[in-house]
Amino acid sequence: MAPPIVRTISRYLLRQHVAPLAFALAALTSLMLIQQVAKQLSGLLGKGLPAGVIAEVFLLSLPFIVAVTLPMAVLVAVLHVFTRLAGDNEMTALQAGGVSVARVVGPVLAGATGVALLSFLWNDQLLPRTNHELRTLQVDIARKKPSLTLKEQVINEVVPGQTFLRASRIDGNTNKLKDVTLYDLSDAERRRIITADSGRMAYSAGGRDLFLTLLDGDIEEVNRTDPAQFNRTFYRTNRMRVSGVGNIFTQTEHDTYKSDREMSTCEMRLAATAARRDASRAAGDAQLVMENDLRRLAGLAPVVAPPVPYVPDTAPPGLYCRALRRLAAWLLPPEAEAQTPQATPPPRPLPPRTPGTQLYVTPGAGVGEQQRLRDARTRAATYEVEIQKKYAIAAACLVFALVGVPVALRFQRGGVGLVIGMSVAVFAVYYFGLIVGEDLGDRLVVSPFLAMWTPNLIFAAAGVFGLWRIRKPGNAPNGGDWSDVGEAVRRVVSWPVSLLRPAWRSLL
């Protein structure tokens, strides 16, 4: 059991981090949300959407923003608190009282671990659901067209690619038209041009259909299959209906499709398992195609693998997924499960070949199966990369705390400038590494673990090295400002140059 003074210091340090963490999280989230609003608001307002739908778009964007800003807020809070503790000589007093740096850092790392667990649950349970709702809502918004607005002396597209209307005068109050020309391209076999001296337009109740009453005009019709045939019809009154000129916003109730960013870890593990099974099936099919091609060349009958029905594995892999399923079964009411049709497994494996046997395969045999194999492996890698990203971003809360402590104690006079500058630098490098790693992992260049965890491993090693340098009393200097930061950067940059200088001189 820890001594009372240690428990008191631990509670004090954790309390000092609460307010900066909340303020940094709120400030960073608000800043990124304002950026999203400025980027998307004009496009949303131009579609005539209800205010509730626009608010829902930005509300559903919050979980993703929080997932990004929470590790950033941890770093800002740690830098701020330890810079102030060192600047007020509280760290010096603690070390003089026999409290080591490890004792001070321990509660902070424990708190960062708790934040990391909350971040993982946030990214794994809430974020996929909101991403799915946001993607569905954005698709529904993209389907909606603004209400029909006609301009004078302009060829207006009434129905995209089918109907166009031009009028010299349009009275918006009475919906009267003057000198009207209507181009009808809806029929692929014929083209019609309808002209009228005047007319009147009206809309259906939902605004989806346009009703035109045209007066004193003619209809010119050309048959595309027989250009020599031309029809012209004169009329006094022509009433016509143009359907689909507007669209009402309708929200999708159920959308079963999910991308990798709309799945939880357990769902992606099942999807990755299915992708690896498809890859194995494609490899077996490719081998079977080449085997049958060889048998055809030898004049033998092809081998047909008998289908053997099998039940797909739907059990969630891993202790975490099994625990979640049991918790969901205990909390949620039971649901009726539909019977899944039994699928056909991959063909039976072929017997091994004798080493040194040369294969004469027709060019193109197995190409489609090889493409299936690559696609399945890429799909599995995409899911694995996304799973590792959920773990890596959550663990970044702990890694950033590990980095922030030695930096704040080393450059304790940096103030607010150090907090902002160091935070921006770490965020830029870290998230750039995540973006590059995700691209390399999706393209099967590196393993999913290395693709997502390399930034964490680099920053964690730097944080451990920094803590080792200041582990003893007196190793953390009194002072340290921006000039010391520049000097430290210069030494880091010049170190590899000094190592390479002798080799360079020998080459000269």
DSSP 65-113: HHHHHHHHHHHHHHHHHHHHHHHTTHHHHHHHTT--HHHHHHHHHHHHH
467 in a domain, yes or no? Answer: yes
Q: List 412's β-bridge partners, or say none.
A: none
Q: How many CB atoms lie under 10 A from the CB of residue 340?
A: 9
Closest CA to 389 of 424, 432, 324, 435: 435
Of residues 466, 457, 456, 454, the one with CA closest to residue 492: 466
Residues 276 and 338 in one domain: yes
Contacts of 272 (CB under 8 A, 6+ apart): 380, 383, 384, 387
Nearest 5°: phi and psi at 139? -65, -40
Residues 18-63 have pLDDT tens digits of: 999 999 999 999 999 999 888 888 778 766 678 888 899 999 999 9
Q: Report yes or no on 251 lying in a domain.
A: no
List pLDDT tens digits, range 208-224: 678 899 999 999 998 87
Please give the angle made by the CA atoms of 279, 282 and 283, to the nearest 5 degrees.
85
Per-residue confidence (pLDDT) for residue 386, from 0 to 100 = 94
Q: Torsion angle of alpha carbons 476, 477, 483, 487, nearest 10°?
A: -60
| 272 belongs to a structural domain | yes
Provide the domain limits for residue 220.
Answer: 156-243
Share of the chain above pLDDT 90, in %: 34
Give long-range contacts, CB 8 A cutoff, 24+ apart: 171-174.
174/200
- Are 396 and 457 part of one and the same domain? yes
Query: Helix, strand, coil shares of the chain as percentages rounded to 5?
Result: 60, 15, 30
Q: Are residues 11 and 138 in the same domain?
A: yes
Of 334, 353, 381, at which residue does a domain stop?
381
User: Cα 359 vs. chain centroid, distance in angstroms?
Assistant: 45
C-alpha 35/C-alpha 46 separation (Å) is 18
* Same domain membership, residue 347 and residue 433: no
DSSP category for residue 182: E
- Per the structure, the count of domains in the chain is 3
Which of these three, 208, 243, 278, is where a domain ends?
243
- Give per-residue pLDDT as tens, 443-469: 989 999 999 999 999 999 999 998 888
Alpha-carbon Rg of the chain, whole angstroms?
34
| pLDDT at res. 320 | 82
CB 448 within 8 A of CB 441: yes
pLDDT in tens, 381-403: 999 999 999 999 999 999 999 99
Domain assignment present for 506: no
Residue that is last in its domain, among 339, 360, 381 = 381
Contact between 263 and 382 under an 8 Å Cβ cutoff? The reply is no
CA of 440: how far to CAs of 37, 239, 391, 449, in Å?
31, 61, 18, 11
Distance between alpha carbon 366 and the CA centroid of its chain, in Å?
34
Query: Which token pair is 144?
Result: 């909606």
For residue 462, the model assigns a pLDDT of 92
Asked if 194 contacts 181 with a C-beta cutoff of 8 angstroms, the reply is yes
Looking at the domain assignment, is residue 122 inside a domain? yes
Judge if 346 and 466 occupy the same domain.
Answer: no
DSSP state of 343: B
Q: What whole-number distance in Å separates Cα of residue 54 and Cα of residue 56? A: 5
213 shares a domain with 86: no
Tell me, what's the pLDDT at 505? Answer: 56
Q: What is the pLDDT of residue 77?
A: 93
Q: What 3-state class would DSSP assign to 6?
A: helix
Same-domain check for residues 475 and 407: yes
What H or E segment, with its residue span, contains residue 372? helix 367-410
Q: Low-confidence residues of the chain, pLDDT below 70?
A: 1-6, 46-48, 143-149, 205-208, 244, 246-250, 305-317, 332-368, 413-414, 472-508
392 part of a folded domain:
yes
Residue 201 lies in a domain: yes
Phi and psi torsions of 345, nearest 5°? -75, 170
Nearby residues of 230 by Cβ (< 8 Å), 6 or more positions away: 220, 221, 222
Among 41, 21, 40, smallest CA distance to 29 is for 21
Instruction: Please tell me the predicted confidence (pLDDT) of residue 408.
Output: 86
Encoding tokens for residue 250?
């309708």
Q: How many CA atoms lie within 13 A of 118 on its CB side?
A: 12
Specify whether 366 is located in the same domain as 436: no
Tokens 């671990």 — which residue?
Answer: 113
Residue with tokens 């809502």: 137
Question: Are residues 395 and 417 part of one domain?
Answer: yes
- The reply to whether 20 and 138 lie within a common domain is yes
- Residue 108 CA to residue 14 CA, distance in Å, equals 7
C-alpha span between 68 and 403 (Å, rounded): 18
DSSP annotation of 263 reads S
First to last CA, the chain: 64
> Residue 163: what are its φ and ψ, rounded to 5°?
-130, 135
Other beta carbons less than 10 A from residue 485's beta carbon: 18
Residue 329 makes CB contacts below 8 A (sequence gap 6+) with none
Return the pLDDT at 422: 86
Residues 403 and 439 in one domain: yes
Let me know if residue 151 belongs to a domain.
no
- Mean pLDDT, rounded, of the chain: 80
> Both 138 and 160 in a single domain?
no
